[in-house]
């Protein structure tokens, strides 16, 4: 997942020296949109839809850049804020397919024409993102959020360039404290366990096969939800990946499984204890974690 995010940030982030005259970020986004068949219409809808998701799940109060900036400020101060139920990178991959040669040529032209003496925010932000990526899982959510809020302001977040970037950052922020993502791998499963397991296969063409059907991540999500809800602590995922399958597809499937488990744990915490997951005591948290474990046959 992190490796894939590095590649995606490469589209948006640059470490070359260039200026911000007339907000070069706008020109960079124009390059990205121009490289798409629909000239960015679906991308604009994706940004709008993900912003609506953040609002509906209470991460931000409204669609203003001030609200998005406030979310990062709150996280930086230590306030617990839920993360999006659906990773932005997952949605990005479903629609983005820029022609790289065209995109790179457009970007290079902008860099050559820009003033080299006035750059600041983009370089600082690009370097900060690279630092976050290079630290792997070593950074706490406060540190990641502080990095964003120190460099950007609400005015920056009016630009699609930084909206996209911060949506990706949400995918990098460590998930809720206390969520048990440890995986139990059954090396010698019983016949009963094999029979109960939900079979997911990623074939040699990187297609996802579940219940005998080829499906995308958006269709796999409700299948996972239904299976976990019905089986709870008895749920087992039998994940088979062909050696020729793309790693990013495997990573996306694993990420989706973990996110679905997180959603169900949060729902159970609210339903059983009338609390958010972060507010549970140790005993309550153990019960919730044990109700939705991650057990895999590979």
Interatomic CA distance for residues 197 and 107, integer angstroms? 48
Distances (CA, A) of 212 to 60, 198, 236, 247: 39, 11, 17, 21
pLDDT, position 181: 52
Q: How far apart are CA 216 and CA 91, in angstroms?
A: 11
Q: How far apart are CA 229 and CA 221, in angstroms?
A: 12
Quick one: pLDDT at residue 182? 60
Determine the Cα–Cα distance for residues 86 and 89; give it in Å rounded to an integer. Answer: 9
Q: What per-residue confidence (pLDDT) applies to 132?
A: 66
Cα separation, 191 vs 253, in Å, equals 25
> Is the Cα dihedral 96, 100, 106, 111 positive or negative?
positive
> Is the CB of residue 168 less than 8 Å from the CB of residue 89?
yes
| pLDDT tens for the chain, residues 1 to 298 | 444 444 444 444 443 333 334 577 888 888 888 878 888 888 888 889 888 888 887 888 898 999 999 988 888 887 756 667 777 876 776 666 544 555 567 766 766 666 543 457 777 887 777 766 665 444 566 777 888 889 999 999 999 888 888 888 877 665 554 555 567 888 888 999 999 999 999 999 989 999 989 999 889 999 999 999 999 999 999 999 888 887 668 877 887 888 888 889 989 999 999 988 878 888 998 899 899 988 988 6
Non-local CB neighbours of 86 within 8 Å, separated by 6+ positions = 53, 221, 259
Give, for 148, the enclosing helix (H) or strand (E).
helix 141-151
SS3 267: helix
What DSSP element (H or E) covers 294?
strand 294-297
pTM: 0.55
The confidence score (pLDDT) of residue 60 equals 87
């Amino acid at each position: 997942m992190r490796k894939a995010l590095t590649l995606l940030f490469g589209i948006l982030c640059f470490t070359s020296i260039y200026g911000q005259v007339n907000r070069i970020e706008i020109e960079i986004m124009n390059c990205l949109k121009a490289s798409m068949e629909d000239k960015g219409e679906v991308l604009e809808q994706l940004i709008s839809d993900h912003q609506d998701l953040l609002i509906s799940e209470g991460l931000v109060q409204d669609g203003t850049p001030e609200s998005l900036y406030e979310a990062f400020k709150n996280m930086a101060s230590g306030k617990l804020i839920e993360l999006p139920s659906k990773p932005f990178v997952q949605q990005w991959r479903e629609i983005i397919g820029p022609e790289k040669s065209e995109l790179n040529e457009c970007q290079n032209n902008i860099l050559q024409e820009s003033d080299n003496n006035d750059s600041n925010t983009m370089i600082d932000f690009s370097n900060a993102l690279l630092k976050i990526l290079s630290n792997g899982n070593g950074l706490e959510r406060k540190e990641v959020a502080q990095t964003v809020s120190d460099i950007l302001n609400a005015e920056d977040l009016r630009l699609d360039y930084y909206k996209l970037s911060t949506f990706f950052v949400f995918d990098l922020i460590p998930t809720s404290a206390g969520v048990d993502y440890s995986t139990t791998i059954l090396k010698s499963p019983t016949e009963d366990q094999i029979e109960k397991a939900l079979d997911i296969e990623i074939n040699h063409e990187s297609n996802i096969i579940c219940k005998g059907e080829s499906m995308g991540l958006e269709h796999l999500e409700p299948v996972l939800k239904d299976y976990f809800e019905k089986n709870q602590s008895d749920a087992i995922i039998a994940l088979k990946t062909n050696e020729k399958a793309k790693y990013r597809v495997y990573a996306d499937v694993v990420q989706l499984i973990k996110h679905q488990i997180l959603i169900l744990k949060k729902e159970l915490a609210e339903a059983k204890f009338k609390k958010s997951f972060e507010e549970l005591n140790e005993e309550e948290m153990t019960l919730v974690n044990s109700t939705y474990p991650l057990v895999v046959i590979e």
